[in-house]
């Protein structure tokens, strides 16, 4: 994911981290939702999230969604006051979010071999997409992202439809769950780029 952000945002995540020499400065910047701080957090957790997900045998497209979800959930917890800085690296907290989500995924998979990461409810009360949906930034960028991407994101995160249901009801032009998830992941990358650029220009 760090490499993906480098490509789309045309900026090195390692250079972004140079601006935050310690946990306190990174946390303060994350509270302000600075684009470089979000890039830095993404870079810091990418290896751990990947290893956790691979150990649970998640497919690559689900790993990318897990990575995005962890960052968005963490930012939301900061925004709503559910995360209080106590001197620890914020990356540690974000990785723990990933570990919890994968744990719930694995437990669900043990009960139902056909379960996917998309179908697992967030153990906390909040929806991961509420993190951006609450903001004017999301509404503006979702309105201009393009009809195909807007449709995929809306079906998954706003209408809360499972991928299999979308395919069965022929609500998109995609005929397989894998194809749908792959294209939605690309849309999420595009949205990440747009949101970061919007914040930088604000």
Give residue-wise pLDDT tens across range 103-161: 877 666 655 544 444 554 444 444 444 443 444 666 677 778 888 888 888 888 777 78
Question: Can you give the length of the chain in residues?
Answer: 202
Q: Total structural domains in the chain?
A: 1
pLDDT category at 162 given cuts 50, 70, 90 is confident
Q: Which strand (E) or helix (H) includes residue 55?
A: helix 35-55
Nearest to 9 by CA among 192, 201, 179, 185: 192
- Alpha-carbon distance of 197 to 147, in angstroms, equals 20
Nearest to 42 by CA among 19, 79, 16: 16
Convert the pLDDT of each residue in 7-16 to its tens digit: 334 445 556 7
- Alpha-carbon distance of 71 to 115, in angstroms, equals 23
Question: What's the pLDDT at 9?
Answer: 42
Question: What's the pLDDT at 201?
Answer: 60
pTM: 0.52
Q: Which strand (E) or helix (H) includes residue 60?
A: helix 60-79
Q: Which domain holds residue 31?
A: 2-201
- Note the Cα 155 to chain centre separation in Å: 16
Do 61 and 182 touch, CB atoms closer than 8 A?
yes
**Mind giving me the DSSP string for 127-181?**
-TTHHHHTSHHHHHHHHHS-HHHHHHHIIIIIS---HHHHHHTT-SS--SHHHHH
Average pLDDT, the chain: 76
Q: What is each CA distance from 55 to 48, 59, 113, in whole angstroms?
A: 11, 11, 16
* 10 contact partners, CB below 8 Å, separation of at least 6: none
């Amino acid at each position: 994911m760090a490499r993906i952000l480098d490509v789309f945002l045309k900026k090195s995540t390692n250079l972004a981290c140079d601006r935050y020499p310690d946990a306190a400065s990174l946390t303060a910047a994350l509270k302000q939702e600075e684009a470089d701080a979000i890039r830095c957090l993404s870079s810091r957790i990418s290896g751990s999230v990947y290893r956790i997900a691979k150990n649970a045998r998640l497919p690559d497209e689900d790993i990318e969604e897990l990575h995005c979800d962890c960052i968005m959930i963490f930012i939301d917890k900061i925004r709503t006051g559910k995360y209080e800085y106590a001197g620890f690296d914020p990356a540690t907290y974000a990785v723990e979010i990933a570990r919890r989500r994968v744990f719930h995924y694995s437990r669900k998979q043990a009960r139902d071999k056909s379960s996917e990461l998309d179908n697992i409810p967030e153990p906390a009360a909040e929806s991961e997409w509420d993190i951006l949906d609450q903001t004017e930034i999301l509404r503006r960028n979702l309105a201009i992202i393009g009809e195909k991407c807007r449709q995929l994101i809306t079906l998954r995160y706003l209408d809360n439809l499972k991928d299999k249901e979308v395919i069965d009801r022929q609500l998109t032009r995609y005929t397989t769950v894998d194809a749908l998830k792959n294209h939605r992941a690309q849309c999420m990358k595009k949205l990440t780029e747009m949101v970061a650029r919007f914040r930088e220009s604000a």
